[in-house]
Amino acid sequence: MNAPFQNEAPGPSKTGEAETGEAKVPLAVLIAAPRGFCAGVDRAIEIVERALGRFGAPVYVRHEIVHNRFVVESLKAKGAVFVDELDQVPEGVPVVFSAHGVPKSVPAEAERREMTYLDATCPLVSKVHRQAERHLEADRHIIFIGHRGHPEAIGTYGQVPEGAMTVIETVAEVESLDFAADAPLAFLTQTTLSVDDTAQVVAALRAKYPHIVGPKAEDICYATSNRQAAVKEIAGQCELVLVIGAPNSSNSVRLVEVAERCGAKARLIQRASEIEPSWLDGVKTLGLTAGASAPEPLVLEVIERLGEWREAEVREVVTAQEQIVFKLPRQLID
């Protein structure tokens, strides 16, 4: 849950005057809520931290636990070691799988190597994996709407045998599909997509294959949907929207796209140090949000940075409340 903000930002933004003695120009800052960590990211980070407490350092993590450099570096400082593949993990130390999910071959290899492993896959991603298995059992070919090369897409693709799933990204790719009109088909989606873009792709799929089977509830996760809705609420009032997140964070990049479609200029940043004073030229109202893997201290850091140049008048705009908490793996429950 995001902490409420008062009307003024902390630190330098409250001074009201630049070093020259000139009064700072006011800047309205609308902070989107919900923003930042979702329940899946909270759970993944806690799994690494608890594993460090249970097993001691080092604990190895296959790939970035979540797509955020600040989080990764913080966990490294506590004793986490990030690797690309399991053959980089020494014998006798535990390994954690990232929140994005992994192909079935990864835990199979870990078991073959007799490794202790903890699966930090977001439960909402795991739900998509289970749906894929059910469609496979029903002899349906799966069309997966997602971004090729993203870890979540790779993990989902790896839940079924080669050739059982086709990955598409756009409406244009729907038009190029050549399945028979009566072919048994199902579709699933990555959890961090644009809600609006995905709706268009799904509509195109249903128009071309009216019998296609879809999920009972949308696969795009609650946090992705909520953060996009919150950006829509503020972006129309802003000349500029800053999104805190990593370039390889799908949900963060989608927030930039959402803001731009609402008519605001938008920039993706990882840290406050990336902000240039010139970005604020002509900006009276600035929007601020954070992707699902960006921690709240980075939001506070940005507000402080803005306060170095302008008299920031901060207001939080709340569009939803999030109370979801996911259970930890049994190995870490005392």
Beta bridge partners of 315: 30
- 48 and 61 Cβ atoms separated by less than 8 Å: yes
Q: Rounded distance, CA 109 to CA 39, Å?
A: 28
Q: How confident is the model at residue 21 (pLDDT cuts 50, 70, 90)?
A: low
Q: Residue 201 to residues 185, 250, 299: CA-CA distances in angstroms?
A: 15, 17, 33
Q: Could you give the C-alpha distances from 149 to 51, 130, 196, 212, 327, in angstroms and in order?
A: 28, 21, 21, 25, 28
CA 270 remoteness from chain centre: 13
317 beta partners? 32
Which pLDDT does position 23 carry in this prediction?
83
Positions marked catalytic? 152
Domains and CATH numbers, the chain: 11-37+222-318 (3.40.1010.20), 39-119 (3.40.50.11270), 123-220 (3.40.1010.20)
CA 34 to chain centre: 13
Summarize the confidence of residues 114-140 as an average pLDDT: 97
Q: What residue type is 160 in one-letter code?
A: V
> Does residue 15 register a pLDDT over 70?
no
- Alpha-carbon distance of 242 to 270, in angstroms, equals 10
| Cβ neighbourhood burial of 245 (10 Å; 0-12, 13-18, 19+) | buried
- With a cut of 80, say whether residue 8 has pLDDT above it: no
CA dist list (Å): 89 to 62, 85, 155, 188 = 9, 8, 20, 33
Task: Specify the pLDDT at position 9.
Answer: 38
Q: Could you tell me which residues are beta bridge partners of residue 194?
A: none
Token pair listed for 105: 């071959």
pLDDT for 271 equals 98
- Residues 85-92 have a mean pLDDT of 96
Q: pLDDT tens for residues 196-226?
A: 999 999 999 999 999 999 998 779 999 999 9
Say what the pLDDT of residue 166 is: 98
Q: For residue 143, what are the β-bridge partners? A: 166, 187
pLDDT at 180 over 90: yes
Residue 26's φ and ψ, nearest 5 degrees, are -60, 145
